[in-house]
Amino acid sequence: MRGNRILGIIFSNLHEKLISEITERRTMGAVPYGGRYRLIDFPLSNMVNSGINKVGVLTKSNYQSLVDHLGSGKAWDLSRQRNGLFVLPPFLDPADYANRVSTFRSIKPFLENSTEEYVVISDCDVICNIDYQKVFEKHIENNADITLVYKRDVLPAKLHDPMVLSFDAKGKVTDVLVSPSISGTCSYYMNMMMIKRELLIDLVNKCVSKNTMNFKRDMIQAEYNTLNIYGYEFKGFAPIITSPAEYFNANMALMNSEVREDLFRGDRPIYTKVRDDMPAKYGLDSKVKNSLIGSGCVIDGEVENCVLFKGVYIGKGTKVSNCVIMQDTKIGANSNLSYVIVDKDVTVRDDKTLAGQPSYPVYVSKESVV
């Protein structure tokens, strides 16, 4: 389905402080997840699978690894003669990207020069497989100005500036609370929305002229009485990465086959950059249970309840349990790791022990040697 009417916009840099260690040297969008992916693969693939063929990726700083990952956009079929992938760093001053509204102002030429009628906007810290065509259908059916994608659940702890929505029977937004103190199930905004491109430009102009630059308060909360704002409930797997523990849990959730089927559906695959690793190799003394294993891994030891990314080595006599181990990390012989998040290219030498707690996994930073 070419010539889609929707433009995609992805914020790749938001909420990084919540997992400051993992994002120290990368954007939120470049955070590794699930044995082979980066978080940006999810919004990008969702957009592409919904027929969107023009996507702007907004990135403020630390974007080397993101740009390296995205390349020309080929892996997402976004390397195109017409449209395709647009990486949009700040033109001059990173302060231009200080908040959502000022970011939209900075990319106004991009918005104005696009011809798509609608815009779908997503962050990178929500991991899900969503069909934006369905959101679009609802948006048209409701004759909505804005459609906000929400989830009904208990508010995730530490969620940044959560926006809680109330609706009438038709799904029209009747109340908007920003950062309320609330317990129990509620409908919280997943930082994904659909809006008419021209309306977005108008709203941004309005906020800028009044210098009211808070997206949730000034663009949504202040407008829900005057605009047709509707909700779209997403019912699938959709963790939001709000802390290292949540990041850990979101990885561990993949051991559940229903979660994998929901997230990695055959009809809407998640694309990512490929690396030409060989298949994973299991040695003569390997013991692997309940784990997700990336290609290029070589396992001579014991692995239980783990996510191993591409090219990880587990030495003989070593036991890793309840760990997330990122790509190309090598763990020597006779070591013992539990509840550890090990970043890329780490070397753990022989006979080492590292242990965290279920609620507080230990983190080992990129390229370190233990």
Partner 1 sequence: MYPKQEVVAMLLAGGQGSRLGVLTQKLAKPAVPFGGKYRIIDFPLSNCVNSGIEAVGVLTQYQPLVLNEYIGSGQPWDLDSMNSGVSVLSPYQQIKGTDWYKGTANAIYQNINYIDRYNPDYVVILSGDHIYKMDYSKMIAFHKENNADCTIAVIDVPLEEASRFGIMNTNPDGSIYEFEEKPKHPKSTNASMGIYVFSWDKLRKYLIEDEETEGSEHDFGKNVLPRMLEDGQRMFAYQFEGYWKDVGTIDSLWEANMDLLDPNVPLDLMDESWKIYSRNPVVPPQYIADTAKIQNSLIGDGCDIGGELEFSILFSNVVVKAGAVIEDSIIMPGCVIEEGAVVRFAIVSENTVIGKNAVVGARPEDIENKDEWGIAVVGDNLKIGAGAVVAPKAMIAEDIEGVE
Contact set with partner 1 (CB under 8 A): 34-36, 74, 254-255, 257, 260, 263-264, 269-271, 274, 276, 278-296, 298, 303, 307-308
Smallest gap from Cβ 94 to partner 1, in A, equals: 34
In whole angstroms, the minimum distance from the beta carbon of 117 to partner 1 comes to 29
Residue closer to partner 1 (CB basis): 63 or 248: 248
3-state secondary structure at position 259: helix
- 3-class SS of residue 9: strand
Return phi, psi of residue 148, to 5°: -100, 130
CB of 132 to partner 1, least distance (A): 19
Distance CA 140, CA 281 (A): 50
C-alpha torsion 84→11→309→34, nearest 10? -100
**Residue 234 vs 271, nearer CB to partner 1:** 271
What's the DSSP call for residue 305? S
Q: Which two tokens stand for residue 272?
A: 């990512």
- Angstrom distance (rounded) from CA 241 to CA 158: 9
Minimum distance from residue 276 beta carbon to partner 1 (Å): 5
Could you tell me the smallest distance in angstroms from the CB atom of residue 256 to partner 1? 10
Neighbours of 134 (CB within 10 A): 12
Which CB sits closer to partner 1, 85 or 195? 85
In angstroms, rounded to a whole number, what is the distance separating the alpha carbons of residues 177 and 194? 19
CB 345, min distance to partner 1, A: 13
SS3 276: coil
**217: helix, coil or strand?**
helix
Reading the block at residue 355, the tokens are 């242990």
Enter the DSSP assignment of 318: -
Query: From residue 258, how far is each of 25, 184, 254, 255, 265 by CA, in Å?
Result: 33, 24, 8, 9, 10
Whichever of 17 and 82 has its CB closer to partner 1, that residue is 82
111 or 341: CB nearest partner 1 = 341
Which one, 152 or 289, has the nearer CB to partner 1? Answer: 289
Shortest Cβ distance from residue 335 to partner 1 (Å)?
20
User: What minimum distance in Å lies between the beta carbon of 92 and partner 1?
Assistant: 34
Q: Which is nearer to partner 1, 290 or 357 (CB)?
A: 290
Residue placing its CB nearer to partner 1 in the complex, 95 or 278: 278
C-beta of 102 vs 295, nearer to partner 1? 295
Q: Could you tell me the smallest distance in angstroms from the CB atom of residue 34 to partner 1?
A: 7
DSSP labels for 17-79?
GGGTTTTTTS-GGG-EETTTEETTHHHHHHHHHTT--EEEEE--SS-HHHHHHHTTSGGGT--
Q: Which residue has the tokens 């080929």?
A: 74
Nearest residue to 189 via CA among 197, 179, 198, 199: 179
